[in-house]
């Protein structure tokens, strides 16, 4: 069956893209859940991660071991960036109106993008990403590349790890408590500032992995590369219900599959419009997203 194998092929491509979206979306959703801020700079952390990985790969060549080293280094760099950004840009505004933090987030995003553009060793020009050599694994009726396999498995492992951290560790409990009620949590002796910084770092770590994987799958990087996957991942987070962690994962996969399906069967130009269209339709039908909780307005 020609068409059914084609569909399965597209689904696999979609899951691979969707895993990356899900990884990035988790960062958005965690930060939103805890400080109610759309962290527009999150997509640019992806860019930072991709560049951090790029320099490691360029230094040591592309072998599987170096690739994991690159991911680790990217995680470290992004975590440091996220903690600094949280400390100096977002924390002073935590009690300010929501709009102000939103504008600050946009400003931080512009600083990261334009900063990368003026730093001499990054520069505005796009670069070819150094990746592992592609090997196709043939599964009879569909074939899957080693990179896609890596993306899917690594993201799944990370998401399981994240679920474990959030549900079964002390820090995770603190994180949930702070997102539930910041003041009550601080009265219970939970270090709110540390927990929030940890959340940002956790999101940034996932974004770093997402960045390296995205650059591996679409091997070209430039300072504005984070904007589009960032927006898409944000759409995924809203789609799943922003603030909900399983929602972000599901949203990521749905968006990834919808996008590759559109590219494969309809028209590749309208893929972006389709993903935003899905977002709009979902929000109209269920304004809090697929797994979001309804908030009652009290007078």
Partner 1 sequence: MKKTLASYRNLVIPGCFALAAVILPSIGIKIGIIDAYIAQVITLAGINAILAISVNIVCGITGQLSLGQAGFMAIGAYACIILTETAGIPLPISILLAGLVTSGAGFLIGFPTLKLTGDYLAIVTLGFGEIIRVFLVNLKSLTGGANGKRFTNSSAVFLSLNADIAYLVIIASLVLIIVFLQNFIRSTYGRAILAVREDEIAANSNGIGVFKYKMTGFVIASFVAGIGGALYAPFIGFIKPEMASFNRSIEYLIFVVLGGMGSITGSIIAAFVLTYLQEFLRFLRDYRLLIYPLILIFVMLFRPQGLLGMKELSFVKTWDNFRIFLKNPAKFKVIKDKFTSNKGEKDAK
- Binding segment toward partner 1, per CB under 8 A, in 46-54, 57-65, 146-154, 231-239: 231-239
Task: Work out whether 235 is an interface residue with partner 1 (CB under 8 A).
Answer: yes
- 218 phi/psi in degrees, rounded to 5: -120, 85
- 145 phi/psi in degrees, rounded to 5: -85, 155
Task: Work out whether 65 is an interface residue with partner 1 (CB under 8 A).
Answer: no
By CB under 8 A, name the one of 238, 248, 254, 257 that touches partner 1.
238
Task: Count the neighbouring beta carbons within 10 Å of the beta carbon of residue 156.
Answer: 14
Nearer to partner 1, 93 or 290 (CB): 93
- 207, 78 contact by CB (below 8 A): yes
Rounded least distance, CB 177 to partner 1, Å: 23
- 28, 39 contact by CB (below 8 A): yes
Nearer to partner 1, 42 or 158 (CB): 42
Residue 143 β-bridge partners:
138
Cα 99 to Cα 161: distance, rounded to the nearest angstrom: 33
Annotate each residue in 99-138 with x if it binds partner 1 (CB under 8 A) or - if it does not, as one string. xxxxxx-xxx-xx--xx-xx-----x--------------
How many residues in the shown chain lie near partner 1 by CB under 8 A?
44
Cα 219 to Cα 228: distance, rounded to the nearest angstrom: 15
By CB under 8 A, name the one of 38, 52, 162, 225 that touches partner 1.
38
Annotate each residue in 17-36 with x if it binds partner 1 (CB under 8 A) or - if it does not, as one string. ---------------x----
- 226, 43 contact by CB (below 8 A): yes
Determine how β-strand 127-128 pairs with β-strand 220-221: antiparallel
- 23, 206 contact by CB (below 8 A): yes
Residues interacting with partner 1, by CB under 8 A?
Answer: 32, 38, 89, 92-93, 96-104, 106-108, 110-111, 114-115, 117-118, 124, 227, 231, 234-235, 238, 242, 267, 269-270, 272-273, 276-277, 279-280, 283-284, 287, 297, 299
């Amino acid at each position: 069956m020609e068409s059914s194998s084609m569909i399965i092929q597209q689904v696999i491509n979609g899951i691979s893209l969707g895993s990356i979206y899900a990884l990035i979306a988790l960062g958005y959703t965690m930060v939103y859940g805890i400080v109610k801020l759309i962290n527009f700079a999150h997509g640019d952390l992806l860019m930072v991660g991709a560049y951090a990985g790029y320099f490691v790969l360029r230094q040591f060549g592309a072998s599987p071991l170096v690739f994991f080293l690159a991911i680790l280094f990217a995680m470290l760099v992004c975590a440091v960036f996220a903690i600094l950004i949280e400390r100096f840009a977002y924390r002073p505004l935590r009690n300010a109106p929501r709009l102000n933090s939103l504008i600050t987030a946009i400003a931080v995003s512009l600083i990261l993008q334009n900063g990368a553009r003026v730093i001499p060793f990054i520069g505005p020009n796009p670069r070819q990403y150094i990746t592992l050599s592609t090997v196709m694994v043939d599964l009879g009726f569909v074939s899957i590349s080693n990179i896609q396999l890596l993306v899917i498995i690594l993201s799944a492992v990370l998401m399981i790890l994240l679920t474990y951290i959030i549900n079964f560790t002390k820090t995770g409990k603190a994180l949930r408590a702070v997102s539930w009620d910041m003041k009550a949590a601080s009265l219970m002796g939970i270090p709110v500032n540390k927990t929030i910084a940890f959340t940002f770092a956790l999101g940034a770590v996932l974004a770093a992995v997402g960045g390296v994987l995205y650059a591996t799958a679409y091997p070209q990087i430039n300072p504005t590369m984070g904007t589009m996957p960032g927006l898409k991942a944000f759409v995924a987070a809203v789609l799943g219900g922003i603030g909900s962690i399983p929602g972000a994962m599901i949203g990521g996969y749905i968006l990834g599959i919808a996008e590759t399906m559109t590219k494969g069967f309809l028209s590749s130009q309208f893929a972006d419009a389709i993903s935003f269209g899905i977002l709009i339709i979902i929000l109209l039908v269920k304004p809090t997203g697929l797994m979001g909780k309804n908030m009652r307005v009290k007078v």
